[in-house]
Amino acid sequence: MAGQISSHVYIFCSDRARNGKTLLCRLFCGHLQGSGPGQFHVFDTYSPNGGLIHYFPDNTEIIDFSKTTGRIKLFDTIMAEPERNYVVDLQAHHLNDFFETYRNIDFDLEARSAGLGAVVYFVQDRDNKSLQAAYDLQNRLNFAEFILVKNDALEKRARYDQNSDLAMLLSHVRSIRLPELSDDLLEVLELEEFSLFDFMASRGLDLPYDVKLELWNLLDFFYTQRAPDRNGFTHYL
């Protein structure tokens, strides 16, 4: 019997690299920082050097998902403390292995029984292959929320047929947009000392007015996209 959902594991993934996945994940973690330093844990699968660990060193551990020990570390840690929130920044080449393991160990069901919901953010890339990957992944999930992320910077150069059956099928899936960001803002977001949480609390870097405005607009954009999931939770994204 399913327990009441009280915490979540947020999985940021895609079938391709360099399409905004980690950026989105960072913004999301920046938001979670507001809930307290020990309230979330990040698994950074960019082994060995890591990506997110440079921004959230106190909350992040690097996982080598190509090894069984890495898989044990990730899923066992989650199941040992299901009352916490978790974020997984999944490297594109681990996508299939991750969800294969996820399915083989019945993670969906076991996590749900422990009161832990799963939310999968899939960043859609520019071609049909990526649409197919999104569609296949969505069909593999049982209880997890699947949210398709459309990056405006990629969408304007999209090479998939928007009238294809696949695009039509995916149009029924819940999706959010990541607006195209200016180079100036991207440069700021790249800074290790930048913290979204500090920005929202009006602390830290003294940013140029245009950048601040764009960032507030981005946060506002995210806010207006929010919608409750099947369990009645409204997530930051």
Partner 1 sequence: MKPTLILVGADKGGVGKTTTSRALLDYMSRKNILARAFDTENPRGTLARFYPGITEIINLEEVADQMKVLDTLNTAAVKVTVVDLKAGALSDALEVFNNIGVLEAARNGDFNLSLLHVIGPSIASLEEMEQVTEYTKGISYIVARNFINETNFFEWDEKTFKKYFSGLSNAHEIDVPKLNEMAYELIDLAGVTFTDFIANKTAKGRDANFSFVLRGYARKWIRDLDAELERLDLIKSLHDLQRTNDPEPAPASPDQS
Residue 106 within binding range of partner 1, rule CB under 8 A: yes
Q: Which residue has the tokens 């399915």?
A: 103
Q: Could you tell me the CA-to-CA distances from 207 to 119, 121, 183, 189, 214 in Å, in that order?
A: 32, 29, 14, 11, 11
Report residue 11 as tokens: 């999985």
* Nearest to partner 1 of 24, 116 (CB atom): 116
CA distance 74 to 76: 6
Measure the CA dihedral 208/211/217/223, to 10°: -100
Report residue 182 as tokens: 């200016």
Report residue 201 as tokens: 């609390």
Residue 76 within binding range of partner 1, rule CB under 8 A: yes
Q: Binding segment for partner 1 among 8-16, 98-106, 206-214, 216-224 (CB under 8 A)?
A: 98-106
Q: Binding segment for partner 1 among 56-64, 72-80, 90-98, 162-170 (CB under 8 A)?
A: 72-80
Shortest separation between residue 126's beta carbon and partner 1, angstroms: 34
Q: Which residue has the tokens 């844990």?
A: 41
> What is the CB neighbour count within 10 angstroms for residue 99?
20
Give residue 77's identity as a one-letter amino acid code.
T
Q: Which residue has the tokens 């506002």?
A: 220
| Cis check: omega of the bond before 48, within 30 degrees of 0 | yes
Report residue 208 as tokens: 């140029």
Site string for partner 1, 32-71 (x = CB under 8 A): ------------------------------------xx-x
* Nearest to partner 1 of 14, 45 (CB atom): 45
Give residue 83's identity as a one-letter amino acid code.
E
Residue 83 within binding range of partner 1, rule CB under 8 A: no
Binding residue for partner 1, selected from 110, 127, 155, 229, defined by CB under 8 A: 110
Q: Binding segment for partner 1 among 18-26, 73-81, 192-200, 222-230 (CB under 8 A)?
A: 73-81
* Nearest to partner 1 of 30, 117 (CB atom): 117
Shortest separation between residue 186's beta carbon and partner 1, angstroms: 37
Residue 171 within binding range of partner 1, rule CB under 8 A: no
Q: Binding segment for partner 1 among 103-111, 130-138, 174-182, 188-196 (CB under 8 A)?
A: 103-111
Report how many residues bind partner 1 under the rule CB under 8 A.
Answer: 14
Shortest separation between residue 109's beta carbon and partner 1, angstroms: 10
Neighbour-count burial for 37-73, b at 16+ CB within 10 Å, e otherwise: eeebbbbbbbeeebbbbebbeebbebbbbeeeebbeb
Q: By the criterion CB under 8 A, which residues form the site for partner 1?
A: 68-69, 71-72, 75-76, 79-80, 101, 104-107, 110
